Every structure is written in structure tokens, then in C-alpha cells.
Homo-oligomer: A and B are copies of this chain.
Amino acid sequence: MTAPKSAAVAKPPRGGRKEPAAEPAPEAGDMMMGELAELLGYALKRAQLRVFEDFLQCVAPVQLTPAQFSVLLLLDVNPGRNQTEIATTLGILRPNFVAMLDALESRGLCQRTRSPSDRRSHILMLTDKGRATLARAKKLVATRHEARLSELLGEDNRIALLAMLGKIAREF
């Protein structure tokens, strides 16, 4: 009931380099995890942190965070939306979305335009540079990040995992 497999500690076979990265447990090899191993929330958080960490590393050449990437993705498929719509769709509060957009716009990746029909709101659009950056980021994510996840889990399992996570987020 405890650990079905006592897999050895995954040791990165890098030679000669010290890793300052956040290791879960560099020592304490014989620590009992107890019911922590059954806690879905704990497993979710740990997996999410690891996936984000890897995402950041894979997409480093284009300097995009997961949140920024999600904004570009959404702007690409939903041109002409305003800040409130994009932000709330991503679960970002409007005040916090302002600085995010400032960063993207100052890098020339997207663009705010006053709506002629409602001059309060800003129409959001990707620039050409934004589309190019997104395309490059997409390729990095697909080939370096998601591909390795699919390899680790198996493609069928990756799809099943995606479905379950979506169900939790939507229906729980």
C-alpha cells in the first residue's frame, strides 16, 4: 500500500556541475512520506512546479513565462478582445493583467488600441513580432517540453491526464 516501487533517486548524470536548483530532498533518503503520497493536492502541486520549471527552461530562448505564453496563445486565436475578457478567461485579475500587458507591449509583442465602439476598452492584438515569437515558442514547447512529457507518460496517458485535469478544473 505504501510505495509500489522503490525507484532509485533520479540522479541527473551531469558531471562536474553543482545544481543550485530546488531539490525536493537532497538528504533524508529514508524519510517516510506517509499519507502524503495519497494526497492529490500535494502531487498536483509538485508536478505543476516541475512542469513549470521545465517549461521555463525549454522556452528560455524566447524569454516567455507560462503566463505570458498563455496570453499570446489566447490573443492569437481571439484577436480584438479587450483586457477584461482575456484576463478573466485566464483567471488573471484585471489589475494584475495591466503590468503583464505592459511587459508584452513594451517588447513589441502585442498592441493596445482604443476601441471605436467603446472608448473605455482596449482592443488587443498580436503584432507581427508577437506572432513570430509565439510561433517560435510553440515549436519549442512542442518539441522540447510536451514531447518529453508524452515520452515519459505515454501519449495515451498524457491525453487521459489532460482530460482529468480539465475535469477537475471545470467540474470539481
Give chain A's interface residues, CB within 8 Å of chain B: 7, 10, 22-28, 31-52, 54-55, 66, 70, 73-74, 76-78, 81, 84-85, 88-91, 93, 138, 141, 145-146, 148-149, 152-153, 157-158, 160-162, 164-172
Cα separation A88 to B20 with both chains bound (whole Å):
12
Residues of chain B within 8 A (CB-CB) of A91 are: 22, 24, 46, 49
User: Contacts A46-B91, A46-B165, A152-B168 hold; do A41 and B24 have CB atoms under 8 A apart?
Assistant: no
- Asked if A89 contacts B161 (CB within 8 A), the reply is no
Residues of chain B within 8 A (CB-CB) of A70 are: 36, 39, 42
Indicate how many identical chains form the complex. Answer: 2
Cα separation A157 to B48 with both chains bound (whole Å):
19
- Give the Cβ gap from A4 to chain B, nearest Cβ, in Å: 8
Of A26, A27, A73, A158, most B-chain CB atoms within 10 Å: A73
Residues of chain B within 8 A (CB-CB) of A7 are: 170-171
- Give the Cβ gap from A84 to chain B, nearest Cβ, in Å: 8
- Asked if A149 contacts B172 (CB within 8 A), the reply is yes
- Asked if A152 contacts B169 (CB within 8 A), the reply is no
Chain B's closest residue to A38 (CB) is B162
Cα separation A164 to B155 with both chains bound (whole Å):
12
- Give the Cβ gap from A115 to chain B, nearest Cβ, in Å: 15
Residues of chain B within 8 A (CB-CB) of A46 are: 91, 165-166, 169
- Asked if B54 contacts A172 (CB within 8 A), the reply is yes
Residues of chain B within 8 A (CB-CB) of A146 are: 38-40
- Asked if A88 contacts B28 (CB within 8 A), the reply is yes
- Give the Cβ gap from A141 to chain B, nearest Cβ, in Å: 8
